[in-house]
Structure 1
Amino acid sequence: MRVHFIAIGGSAMHNLALALHEKGDQVTGSDDAIFEPSKSRLENKGLLPEEMGWFSNKINSDIDAVILGMHAKEDNPELQRAQELGLKIYSYPEFLYEQSKDKTRVVIGGSHGKTTITSMILHVLHYHDKEVDFMVGAQLEGFDTMVHLTEDNDFMLLEGDEYLSSPIDRRPKFHLYQPNIALLSGIAWDHINVFPTFENYIEQFQLFTESMVNGSILVYNEEDPVVKQIAEGATKPTRKHPYFTPEYFVENGETFLVTPEGDMPIEVFGKHNLSNLAGAKWICQHMGIDEEDFYEAISTFKGASKRLEKIGEVRGTLAYKDFAHSPSKVKATTTAVKEQFPEKQLVACLELHTYSSLDEEFLQQYKNALDAADKAIVFYSPEAVQLKRLNEINSDQIAEAFQHKNLKVYTNPQLFQEYLKTEAFVNSVVLFMSSGNYGGLDFDQVKEWL
């Protein structure tokens, strides 16, 4: 099959391009800017466009499928040419469904935890040599790409993102997968630029359960009241399996999971990650992995990239980075680190980077999110606020929103880095939470500064 990607450089898009190339399809693509690591990975496989930009002459009737990324606009010249020729145009999730419509589709959904749960499941399946097709939102140890497609595998495991599918398809991605088995981890309002009210946001998850095939299985977090209500009201699944945080304890900076086989040390930590583990166990059992085999495999799971990822440890001071940015994720991550290292000073650094986090009204949702930290640092870029065409915010508004007694606000990347270089972090844990990079912070240098 000949496939052309419009906006091939995105994190998800370039991984799909690599997966199709690996599968033997003929892949081409365009983009107006491609950054690392996408650039090198595409270049290594001969898929990097020769020049940046959009070129309508790249589109012809020999193309079997065009895959349209969110980075493209509705007036993109390649998209317009494809429409003129009547070519089949897919959004990213549409194409994944097309590739998996004859397989058992397992979809992991929720506002938070879905990448970690999907990663846990993949780790366990990989540990036991069980081959499945998959799409996950983070790079995993032992896997070359975040997307894997075959003709033969029985299962397709999909991380179910609730964000929009493409510039010309405004449906949430996870509405298109039609799962046979699904999981809902937790719901906390996000993407306010698309879902302006919490009620509107919740509705997307209700629609997700109704998109499941008849006779399907729904695994859900019964400790989340909104998820519990949605799951109990769902009509398509004929089997429903609630899960809850399993028993565990922390001893000398190590987390132990209480299992029927005895207390088992695990690499990940935090109540939210133990909850994720419980959900992953249910899904693995539905995919043919028994409980004992699950525990054996999960004990070696170190986490997904940027999900409570350890940067380094120097003379009793540790540094972690995490993708957390929404209020519920920030609170869960900060609490988890403090619980794991109660004797250490916790310095929690949060970058306000997303549209929601920089909105002056949504900012109030962060109240008490950093309470577990001994010191709290909030970084944001006024330029990012302007680019997103939002009302300006200031340090007083941030202090009022977070309600933390020991909070500092930085808007200058150099001053923030100077703080990291000069502060005496003794017996501390420094936690970086962001979906960005604090205006150019090199995490490889952080260990050196500590």
Structure 2
Amino acid sequence: MHNLALSMAEKGFTVTGSDDEIYEPSRTRLEKAGILPEAKGWFPEKISPDLDAIILGMHARQDNPELIKAQELGVPVYSFPEFIYEQSQEKIRVVISGSHGKTSITSMVLHVLNAQDLDFDYLVGAQIEGFDLMVRLSTDAPMIIIEGDEYLTSPLDRRPKFFHYQHDILLMSGIAWDHFNVFPTFENYCEQFEKLVDMTPPAGTFIYCQEDSIVKQLGENCKISNVNLVPYKAHPYTIRDGKTYLITPENEIEIPIFGQHNLQNLQGALEICGSLGLSDAQFYASITSFKGAAKRQETMASSETSVLYRDFAHAPSKLKATVNAVKNQFPDRKLVAVQELHTYSSLNKDFISNYAHTFDAADEAIVYLNPKAVSLKKLELMDAQTLREGFQKEDLLVFTDINLLKTHLEAKEYAQTNLLLMSSGNYDDMDLSILKQKINQKI
């Protein structure tokens, strides 16, 4: 939301806002732009008939006093995705969907389009190098690249966000049950993606990963008139000495990213760029400098014999793909993999069995969960044996105290060892300085 506010201010709109909490980096960035609210809280007196629109955040309540005042006055109220569509109706809309890989694919596409000096708008779920904001809505750009999230639209609209973008080009990376608190069954979750595919317009484009059995079925069963169906699978590649090379018709190209899932993501990005008129040669020339989005296999420290990675992986499919990628990239190194259970799904004992065998490739597997986070979500704190049974890993280490986890990790030697920290949270702001020092040491 704060990125959208900054984008609209940059576009020339007068922007104001309210929130009950404003965290960094949002606070500093809003303050620098001169649009930080003077006080936290909700102020109905801010709402007047001369407002062009109100954009409602996902976490506002239906009884929010500013929302009620807007409804009383008849001020137009948009959800976030509705407003994105309202601002991009005349553009080519590319929507990137799937349970995993959305941010990476979107980031790759943005990187290539930027490197090729094309004009485009975008919405992406992470900070990426070369882009100040995570949202851009301009007047003249002919296209917009949208990371299409399946989570709920707003307190007033319980449908997935991606229904609102009305795509011209749709990519779907894969489907694996997520958002257990919103979609109570896997069948209900899959149904949302099926509806999204059905929204593809005649003569539109559906790019789908044929290595995902559910997505492949959606693509092969698509009956939309004159739709352009583009199946894809992981780009051919090879690994040598801990480095990944794309195998192209002309040569081999070294790239900074790695892992089977990321080579799927890369091929998907290539297909999108092709659908927008770029050549394979243009894509290859630009993708070599792509370093990844924030918290996606992000290197925090490294030496000749070890690396500390941070990754956003939290859902089972993401966890398994990331662990396997790091182990396959460095098969001769020990892998210490740590997962912070942070989301409602991951902290729910009825869902935990979905994590079975996701840690199998790790030499040492660790789970951290914060009892306070469990309590806030009104869930039961799982014991170590429940987690071991859920992950199907008897030697799984479990920590519920961040200081004990920190001490455990700092006591290790990291020669010929990689450390992978995965979470959609922040490990209670655990200080990584000692770990970075140990891994940066030249052995």
TM range (shorter): over 0.9
Query: CA 1:380 to 1:401, structure 2 compared with 1: closer, same or farther past 3 Å?
Result: same
How many Å apart are 1:440 and its aligned residue? Answer: 2.1
1:53 aligns with 2:41: yes
**Structure 2 matches for 1:206-217, cutoff 5 A?**
206-217=194-205
C-alpha deviation, 1:139, in angstroms: 0.5
Once the two structures are TM-superposed, the CA of residue 444 in structure 1 deviates from its matched residue by: 4.9
* Partners of 1:446 and 1:158 in 2: CA distance: 36
Q: Does the residue aligned with 2:61 lie in a helix, a strand or coil? A: coil
Provide the C-alpha distance between the structure 2 equivalents of 1:192 and 1:231, rounded to a whole number of angstroms: 25
Could you list the per-position Cα deviations for residues 303-339 of structure 1 after superposition, in whole angstroms to 9, with x for gaps in the alignment? 0110000001146221001000001100000000001
Give structure 1 regions of 4+ aligned residues with deviation exceeding 4 angstroms: none
- Aligned residue number for residue 433 of structure 1: 422
For normalisation by structure 1, the TM-score amounts to 0.96
The equivalent position to 1:105 in structure 2, one of 86, 90, 93, is: 93
Q: Does 1:119 align with 2:107?
A: yes
The answer to whether the aligner puts 1:39 opposite 2:16 as a matched pair is: no
The aligned counterpart of 1:229 is: 217
Which runs of no fewer than 5 residues in structure 1 stay unpaired? 1-12
Paired residues for 1:378-397 under 5 Å: 378-397=367-386
- AA at the equivalent of 2:31: E
Q: State which of 168, 178, 185 in structure 1 corresponds to 2:156.
A: 168
- Mapped to 2, the partners of 1:65 and 1:234 lie a distance apart of 37
Structure in which a larger fraction of residues adopt strand: 1
For 1:387 and 1:280, the matched residues in 2 are separated by 38
Query: Partners in 2 of 1:73 and 1:235 — Cα distance?
Result: 39
Q: In structure 2, do the counterparts of structure 1 residues 446 and 38 end up closer, same or farther at CA, with 3 Å as the change threshold?
A: farther
CA shift, 1:401, in A, is 1.2
Is the contact between residue 206 and residue 234 of structure 1 (CA under 8 Å) also seen in structure 2?
no
- From 188, 192, 196, the equivalent of 1:204 is 192
State how far apart, in whole Å, the 1-side matches of 2:62 and 2:88 are.
27
Three-state SS of the structure 1 residue aligned to 2:16 is strand
Query: Letter of the aligned partner of 1:262 in structure 2?
Result: N
What SS does the corresponding residue of 2:301 show, helix, strand or coil?
Answer: strand
Q: 1:446 to 1:82 in 2, by over 3 A?
A: farther
Separation (CA, whole Å) in 1 of partners of 2:201 and 2:35: 36
The counterpart of 2:388, out of the listed 392, 399, 407, is 399
- Once the 2 structures are TM-superposed, how far is the Cα of residue 75 of structure 1 from its aligned partner? 0.6
1:21 aligns with 2:12: no
Identity among equivalent positions (%) equals 52
**Normalised TM-score (structure 2):** 0.97
What is the distance in 1 between the residues matched to 2:232 and 2:373? Answer: 39
1:423 aligns with 2:412: yes
Among 47, 52, 58, the residue aligned to 1:64: 52
Quick one: which amino acid aligns to residue 90 of structure 1?
Y
Alignment equivalent of 1:352, drawn from 333, 341, 353: 341
CA distance in 1: counterparts of 2:100 and 2:62, whole angstroms = 30
Work out the CA distance in 1 between the residues paired with 2:385 and 2:133. 43
Quick check: 344-353 or 438-447, which moved more? 438-447
1:181 paired to 2:169 = yes
1:264 matches 2:265? no
Shift of residue 445, structure 1, vs aligned partner:
5.0
Q: CA deviation at 1:352?
A: 0.6
Of stretches 287-296 and 87-96 in structure 1, the one that deviates more from structure 2 is 287-296
Quote the offset at 1:393 in angstroms.
1.1
**For residues 442 and 185 of structure 1, what CA distance do their matches in structure 2 show?**
34
Matched, 1:303 2:303: no
One-letter amino acid matched to 1:291: D
* One-letter amino acid of the structure 2 residue matched with residue 236 of structure 1: I
Name the amino acid aligned to 1:86: G
**Per-residue Cα deviation, 1:408-440 (whole angstroms, up to 9, x for no partner):** 100001111111222222211000010001122
Q: Distance in 1 between matches of 2:234 and 2:129?
A: 25
1:274 aligns with 2:263: yes
Q: Which one-letter code corresponds to 1:368 in the other structure? A: H
Q: Deviations over 1:7-52 (max 9, x none)?
A: xxxxxx0000011011111100000101111111111101111110
Could you say which residue in structure 1 is the equivalent of 2:83?
95
Q: Does 1:145 align with 2:140?
A: no
Q: Distance in 2 between matches of 1:16 and 1:443?
A: 31
